[in-house]
């Protein structure tokens, strides 16, 4: 497999989406927000009135729908972009993301999407470097203080972010974990472009090594 992947993992509000999107733009690569995929499944589960705790029904939905993430996020062609960050989705997404069968379906789709990109893909999530692309070209783990992460996600609130981080880190299926070979960057108080440049520089130095 010679696809080029930059894997960016980290907790909620660590700056993953913003940074990953800008790195992708700078390199002319594609960008994949895997959190949006778990959110899209969750939005569809809620819309269909399926119990989020019904693992079998949720997994069956996740493996039967077609999720597209660009230019807009859709499920079976229905645009769900406006439903992804509601409070109900914020609460239910950790339960859906802890479902191992849902994760298998999402990981397969993520690999398929990345394989179709001509140059490379910047993929952000929680398990990208550890599970989805363990052989990624570059692995980055972004962190930031809880206060700053909550400010960045001001519509969500500190308690909800803490609860989600705990659920994401303690679950059995692919918990949020820093890969041993990841470059760790603390984005607290740092300029976004500076972080982006550092990641692009890491890729370049790796390429010329």
Contact footprint for ligand DC (CB under 6 A): 12, 34-35, 38-39, 93-94, 97, 125-128, 164, 168
Nearer to ligand DC, 7 or 196 (CB): 7
User: Quick one: tokens of 19?
Assistant: 């940074």
Q: What angle do CA 62, 43, 36 make, to 5 degrees?
A: 75
For residue 134, the surrounding DSSP H or E stretch is none
CB 170 to ligand DC: min, Å: 12
For the chain, the C-alpha Rg in angstroms (whole number) is 16
Question: What's 174's DSSP letter?
Answer: S
**Quick one: 181 or 207, whose CB is closer to ligand DC?**
181
d(CA 19, CA 144): 13
What minimum distance in Å lies between the beta carbon of 207 and ligand DC? 26
The minimum distance between CB 197 and ligand DC, in angstroms, equals 23
Between residues 19 and 128, which has the closer beta carbon with respect to ligand DC?
128
Smallest distance from ligand DC to CB 110, Å = 8
For residue 69 the two structure tokens come to 């993430």
**Cβ closest to ligand DC, residue 120 vs residue 125:** 125
DSSP 14-74: SSHHHHHHHHHHHHT-EEEEHHHHHHHHHHHHHHTT--TT-HHHHHHHHHHS-EE-SSS-E
CB-wise, 52 or 128, nearer to ligand DC?
Answer: 128
Query: In the bound complex, what is the minimum distance in angstroms from residue 203's beta carbon to ligand DC?
Result: 21
């Amino acid at each position: 497999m010679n696809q080029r992947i930059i894997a960016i993992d980290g907790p909620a509000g660590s700056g993953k989406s913003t940074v990953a999107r800008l790195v992708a733009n700078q390199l002319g690569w594609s960008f994949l927000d895997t959190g949006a995929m778990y959110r899209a499944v969750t939005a569809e589960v809620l819309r269909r009135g399926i119990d989020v705790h019904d693992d079998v029904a949720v997994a069956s939905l996740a493996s039967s729908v077609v999720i597209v993430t660009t230019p807009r996020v859709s499920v079976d062609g229905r645009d769900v972009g406006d439903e992804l960050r509601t409070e109900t989705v914020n609460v239910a997404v950790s339960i859906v993301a802890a479902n191992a069968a849902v994760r298998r379906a999402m990981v397969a789709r993520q690999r398929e999407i990345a394989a179709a990109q001509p140059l490379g893909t910047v993929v952000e999530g929680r398990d990208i470097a550890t599970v989805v692309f363990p052989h990624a070209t570059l692995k980055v783990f972004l962190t930031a203080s809880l206060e700053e992460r909550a400010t960045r996600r001001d519509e969500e609130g500190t308690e909800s972010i803490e609860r989600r981080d705990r659920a994401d880190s303690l679950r059995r299926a692919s918990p949020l974990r820093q890969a041993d070979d990841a470059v760790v960057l603390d984005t607290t108080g740092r300029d976004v472009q500076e972080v982006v440049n550092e990641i692009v520089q890491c890729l370049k130095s790796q390429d010329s090594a």
